């Protein structure tokens, strides 16, 4: 405690004693006892004052006390000067030690650079910095926002909160939510049974070699009883009798695979509301089994699709985003696409990259789509997919401030690389092309079956986007620019034809095959040679 604080305490004590001695002689009006206006709690805040502030207060106090002589004042000054000198010596000693340590570190760095070479060290540090930047940007583009996982939040923005709240109350009338667990992926409903001891659990894999840089690997596990029900389910599927699957649901209301199969049956009978609810219930069960460290918002939790128990989460998330997107909740569907990608960004086992651009454009998340493209292009060659080649041009068209010059170039590149898109796209949009376009040889170019499948996937999902009033004139302008370039230099057509012949040969990748099967887009089916390999 500083000397100033001690003197304040001493002064307060003396004043209190003085008042107590004179209490009997001094009359107090109103029968009240006179009190000093001193707040003792203020003393607690005095311990953090700097040394200079303490010196100034001490000097003022010494000057105000007439009872002390000049000798005492001089002795106080001498003591303070000694303390100041001592502090300077300590600081000087510390600075010299720090400089010695810095010199030693610099000397070591120079020796290492001499051994390895300055250029090598610079390259290693540069590559490390790029890798860290790439990891950080990927994590940022796949970060999940919980508010966008709830389609009701998006529906409130579209139709108004009062309508959605009224509808929600109508559906949940007469029931409480005492047994429903709060979850992020879906909202549990009152009429659902309690999810306890479902037989599903999740474990953290600590022995995975790739478990580094903050990435954590997890895996679902089935209990013995759950595996027995799973065997019953497989027998029910082979029997081709839906009643056998219903019997399993009645006994085990949270068997995930049975819920998925029942959802497919409802969808085939065009009961989309019930089909979506069964998927929500399966997703609710899977989330209740999450490991405490499995945090979907961080984007660093991984699930290996090759592990059979993990596939249920992938499939239910994919089907759920399709149902949500079917309700025009495109922002919510985009968030679930990001979640699916974050589970395995390198493998992307369900080829979510074929759908994420559609939901980003429909949700008007143009800047996010551009950032995502710039980040993934080097590693995934997104420009070699028809959907991204055209979608990134549209995103630049809506965000560019330079007269859409960059967007024009991107669209021309897409038309040159994928000429088979134009005519089917115009036909789907009910647009009749002019004679120059309809008779030109370039838009009749041959393409491999695999590329044809990718083009059909893009057109059948994304043709609605091209019906916007400002896009069709923009497309027409750039189509004629492409034709002018080809007629001016025929080598351009041969160059792009050679690229297509080399890049789109061979069987369809399994991830795209899975995407085609799960999406169930009309007019698109898996190629026969890969249909049996899609697992």
Closest CA to 432 of 489, 483, 476: 476
Task: Say yes or no to pLDDT of 235 above 50.
Answer: yes
Range of the domain at 427: 351-535
Q: Give the total number of structural domains in the chain.
A: 2
Q: In 196-299, which residue ranges form alpha helices assigned H by DSSP?
A: 224-239, 242-251, 256-268, 272-288
Look at residue 269 and tell me if it is in a domain: yes
Q: What confidence score (pLDDT) does residue 268 get?
A: 92
On the 0-12 / 13-18 / 19+ scale of CB atoms within 10 A, 134 is: middle
Whether residue 480 sits in one domain with residue 458: yes
Closest CA to 534 of 353, 350, 386: 350
Whether residue 249 sits in one domain with residue 321: yes
Q: What confidence score (pLDDT) does residue 198 get?
A: 84
Look at residue 54 and tell me if it is in a domain: no
Out of 345, 368, 388, a domain closes at 345
Look at residue 305 and tell me if it is in a domain: yes
At 290, is the secondary structure helix, strand, or coil? coil
Whether residue 435 sits in one domain with residue 332: no
Whether residue 152 sits in one domain with residue 258: yes
Whether residue 389 sits in one domain with residue 336: no
Look at residue 245 and tell me if it is in a domain: yes
Whether residue 240 sits in one domain with residue 260: yes
Q: What confidence score (pLDDT) does residue 83 get?
A: 46
Out of 288, 310, 345, a domain closes at 345
Q: What confidence score (pLDDT) does residue 404 get?
A: 67
Whether residue 464 sits in one domain with residue 431: yes
Whether residue 449 sits in one domain with residue 434: yes
Look at residue 9 and tell me if it is in a domain: no
Q: What is the mean pLDDT of the chain?
A: 77
Task: Say yes or no to pLDDT of 387 above 80.
Answer: yes
pLDDT tens readout for residues 134-187: 444 456 788 888 888 888 787 777 777 666 556 555 555 544 444 567 788 998
CA distance 439 to 263: 46
Per residue, the 3-state secondary structure of 310-341, as one string, reads HHHHHHHHHHHHHHHHHCCCHHHHHHHHHHHH
Task: Say yes or no to pLDDT of 51 above 50.
Answer: no
Instruction: Using pLDDT thresholds of 50, 70 and 90, give the confidence band for residue 319.
Output: very high
Whether residue 534 sits in one domain with residue 415: yes
CA distance 158 to 146: 18
Closest CA to 343 of 239, 215, 506, 194: 215
Please state, for a pLDDT cut of 90, what percent of the chain lies above it. Answer: 50
pLDDT tens readout for residues 389-442: 999 999 999 998 755 689 999 999 999 999 999 999 999 999 999 999 999 989
Q: Which of 184-193, 368-377, 391-400 has the lowest mean pLDDT?
A: 184-193
Whether residue 294 sits in one domain with residue 150: yes
Instruction: Please name the helix (run of DSSP H) or strand (run of DSSP E) that holds residue 402, with its range, or none.
Output: none
Look at residue 66 and tell me if it is in a domain: no
Instruction: Using pLDDT thresholds of 50, 70 and 90, give the confidence band for residue 94.
Output: very low
Look at residue 91 and tell me if it is in a domain: no
Whether residue 398 sits in one domain with residue 303: no
Instruction: Using pLDDT thresholds of 50, 70 and 90, give the confidence band for residue 214.
Output: confident
CA distance 523 to 481: 31
Q: Which residues of 94-124 are buried (b: 16+ CB within 10 A; e: fewer)?
A: eeeeeeeeeeeeeeeeeeeeeeeeeeeeeee
Look at residue 115 and tell me if it is in a domain: no
Out of 329, 345, 361, a domain closes at 345
pLDDT tens readout for residues 271-306: 999 999 999 999 999 999 999 999 888 888 999 999
Whether residue 311 sits in one domain with residue 261: yes
Q: Which residues of 508-532 are buried (b: 16+ CB within 10 A; e: fewer)?
A: beebbbbbbebbeeeebebeeebee
């Amino acid at each position: 405690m500083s000397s100033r604080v001690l003197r304040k305490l001493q002064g307060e004590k003396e004043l209190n004693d003085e008042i107590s001695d004179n209490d009997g002689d001094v009359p107090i009006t109103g029968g009240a006892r006179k009190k000093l206006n001193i707040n003792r709690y203020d003393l607690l805040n005095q311990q953090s004052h700097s040394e200079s502030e303490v010196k100034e207060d001490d000097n003022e106090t010494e000057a105000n006390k007439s009872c002390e002589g000049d000798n005492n004042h001089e002795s106080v000054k001498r003591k303070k000067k000694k303390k100041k000198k001592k502090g300077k010596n300590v600081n000087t000693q510390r600075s010299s030690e720090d400089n010695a340590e810095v010199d030693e570190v610099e000397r070591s760095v120079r020796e290492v650079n001499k051994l390895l070479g300055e250029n090598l060290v610079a390259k290693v540090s540069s590559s490390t910095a790029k890798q860290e930047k790439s990891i950080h940007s990927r994590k940022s583009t796949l970060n999940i926002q919980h508010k966008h996982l709830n389609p009701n939040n998006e529906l409130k923005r579209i139709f108004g909160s009062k309508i959605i709240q009224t509808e929600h109350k109508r559906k949940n009338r007469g029931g409480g939510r005492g047994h429903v667990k709060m979850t992020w992926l879906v909202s549990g409903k009152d009429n659902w049974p309690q999810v306890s001891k479902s037989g599903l659990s999740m474990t953290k894999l600590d022995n995975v070699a790739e478990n580094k840089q903050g990435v954590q690997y997890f895996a679902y596990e089935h209990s013995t009883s759950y595996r027995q029900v799973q065997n019953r389910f497989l027998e029910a599927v082979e029997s081709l009798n839906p009643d056998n699957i219903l019997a399993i649901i009645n006994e085990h209301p949270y068997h995930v695979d049975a819920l998925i199969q029942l959802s497919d049956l409802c969808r085939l009978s065009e009961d989309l509301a019930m089909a979506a609810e069964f998927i929500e219930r399966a997703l609710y069960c899977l989330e209740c089994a999450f490991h405490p460290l499995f945090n979907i918002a961080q984007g660093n939790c991984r699930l290996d699709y090759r592990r059979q128990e993990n596939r249920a989460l992938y499939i239910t998330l994919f089907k759920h985003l399709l149902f949500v997107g079917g309700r025009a909740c495109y922002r919510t569907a985009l968030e679930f696409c990001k979640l699916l990608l974050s589970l395995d960004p390198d493998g992307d086992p369900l080829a979510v990259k074929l759908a994420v651009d559609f939901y980003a454009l429909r949700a008007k998340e143009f800047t996010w789509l551009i950032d995502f493209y710039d980040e993934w292009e080097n590693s995934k060659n997104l420009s070699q997919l028809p959907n991204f080649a055209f979608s990134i041009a549209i995103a630049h068209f809506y965000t560019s401030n330079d007269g859409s010059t960059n967007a024009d170039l991107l669209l021309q590149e897409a038309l040159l690389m994928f000429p088979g898109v134009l005519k089917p796209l115009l036909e789907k949009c009910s647009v009749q092309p002019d004679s120059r376009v309809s008779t030109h040889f370039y838009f009749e170019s041959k393409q491999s079956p695999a590329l044809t499948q990718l083009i059909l996937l893009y057109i059948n999902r994304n043709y609605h986007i091209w019906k916007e009033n400002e896009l069709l004139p923009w497309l027409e302008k750039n189509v004629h620019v492409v034709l002018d370039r080809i007629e001016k230099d025929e080598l351009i057509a041969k160059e792009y034809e050679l690229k297509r012949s080399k890049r789109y040969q061979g069987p369809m990748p399994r991830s795209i095959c899975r995407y085609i099967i799960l999406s169930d887009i009309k007019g698109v089916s898996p190629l026969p040679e890969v249909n049996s390999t899609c697992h």
